[in-house]
Amino acid sequence: MDITIGENMRKSVFPFTAIVGQEKIKKALVLNAVNPSIGGVLIKGDRGTGKTTAVRALADLLPEIEVVDGDIFNSDEESYKDFELYKAIDKNKDDDVLLVKKPMRVIELPLGATEDRVVGSLDIEKALHEGIKALEPGLLAQANRNILYIDEINLLDDNLVDVLLDAAAFGVNTIEREGISISHPSKFILIGTMNPEEGELRGQLSDRIGLEIEVEGISNIEDRIKIMKRREAFERDPLSFRAKFNKKQEKLQNKIIKAKEILNDVVIDHVLLEVIARITLELSSEGHRSDISILKTAKTIASFNGNLTVDFDDLKEAISLVLGEDPLLNQRIQKIRNDIEKREKEGENDLDNDSFSFSNDNLQEKIKEQLEDSLNEKLKKANQNHENQELDKAFNDSNNKDLDNIELGDGESKEKDFINTSDFEDKDESNSKLNQGEKLENFNEFNIDGKFDIKKY
């Protein structure tokens, strides 16, 4: 079923901004409109809670898309010219294309649809002679750059689930018949609804859908009264009712457009990235899809809020949208953040200490060099003083002996080599080596231990 939102049909669509409550559903839908790579929305809940109304209202809200006129895949100019399908099959394609604007559509995939209806069919004989004209596009072709809506998605046949998984993963749908294969772009916002009491969703498809929302009927009395009044007013005069919400619709539409423009410029701090990794590990999330979905969602929330940096509140909201509601989830997230920030702070202190130690090492090296120079200078002076003292002593002894000889009066002149320079030099050298050895032994202890007592020197 093709739910087209054209000018003639808009009057029958309930305004998105007029929906009462269900804030999480509305937020999840808007975030996917800003960033389709989030992977769609799975809405769990009972019937009659406004799920389908919200999906149709989203398509009505979103700005028109620019497409190549007459193209069955709703391609923009770039993909139309680049995609191999058009080069190989559409032999009559003109390089000059006419661009037109079209409203986004909701393509509904019914449970009883055949595979050919979903994937598309191909007339082999015509394909060999007429190219693209032989292709009968399926729902996945119509869904390109639009919204693919599947009610009771948990009851979908397994073969169709496999087809959806391939298209959602690669953004391409492939039709294969008797050795002939044709591929075309199929990038869509996937929105599925289900009642958990009717069966669980196949795991592979659940992992592929980015956001998961549980919805309940509104219990607030005032809100329930407001729902009745608004619905009655809309059914009585749709145009007048829609006119009352035109400004709100336009404001939200512009906010979505602005968010799309700045999305690629949004950044996230390393601490918040670690929060994502740790919370997914604590909750035993398999693989890395949850991490990536949380990251994309957090950045999209920041852009929707008009910010270029993801903050902690953006991250908490993203985690709840991806992993589902958990009464203790916010506490766990906060604890993880506190632990990381505490560790980061201690790490900075350790880094400062390391820098100080490095500076001390340099200082110690310089002090060691200065001490070594000082020690050598002191040893040199000590040796020089020792030599002078020995020379003075020897000279005095010699004079005394000469005087003694004169006093003997024996008339003999005794020549005596009173200075044995070789013995003196050996002795001084020995003393010098001994003194220097003692000092250097102490200095070697400094080198080995890497410590020193400045008072010692």
Question: How far is 19 from 242, CA to CA, in rounded Å?
Answer: 12
186: its two tokens: 């199929």
SS3 state at 356: helix
Q: Where in the chain is the domain with CATH 3.40.50.300?
A: 2-262
Indicate the CATH number of 2-262 among 3.40.50.300, 3.40.50.1110, 1.10.645.10, 3.55.50.30.
3.40.50.300
The answer to whether 321 touches 24, Cβ cutoff 8 Å, is yes
Q: Kindly report the CA angle at 39 between 340 and 208, in degrees rounded to 5?
A: 90
Backbone angles phi, psi at 269, to 5 degrees: -75, 150
pLDDT value for 303? 97
Question: How far is 242 from 255, CA to CA, in rounded Å?
Answer: 19
> How many alpha carbons lie under 13 Å from residue 19 in its C-beta half-sphere?
26
Question: How far is 233 from 239, CA to CA, in rounded Å?
Answer: 10
- Min mean pLDDT across 11-15, 25-29, 209-213, 420-424 is at 420-424
Q: Residue 87 pLDDT > 60, yes or no?
A: no
Question: How far is 287 from 207, CA to CA, in rounded Å?
Answer: 10
Q: Which helix H or strand E contains 65, and what residues bound it? A: strand 65-68
pLDDT value for 10? 58
Backbone angles phi, psi at 149, to 5 degrees: -110, 125
pTM over 0.75: no
- Listed in sequence order, the DSSP H helices in 409-454 are 421-449
Q: Which residues are catalytic?
A: 289
Question: How far is 236 from 230, CA to CA, in rounded Å?
Answer: 10
* pLDDT tens digits along 270-299: 889 988 998 888 876 677 888 999 999 999
Closest CA to 315 of 296, 343, 339: 296
Question: How far is 177 from 123, CA to CA, in rounded Å?
Answer: 9
* pLDDT tens digits along 385-417: 666 666 666 556 555 554 444 444 444 444 444
* pLDDT tens digits along 241-251: 999 999 999 99
How long, in residues, is the chain? Answer: 457
Question: How far is 290 from 361, CA to CA, in rounded Å?
Answer: 47
382-386: long-range contacts, CB 8 A cutoff, minimum separation 24: 382/432, 382/435, 383/428, 383/431, 383/432, 383/435, 386/428, 386/431, 386/432
E strands, 144-276, are: 147-150, 172-177, 180-185, 189-194, 211-215
Question: How far is 185 from 173, CA to CA, in rounded Å?
Answer: 6
Span 245-267, mean pLDDT? 95
pLDDT value for 336? 83
Question: How far is 356 from 358, CA to CA, in rounded Å?
Answer: 5
Residue 267 is classified by DSSP as: B
Question: How far is 389 from 376, CA to CA, in rounded Å?
Answer: 20
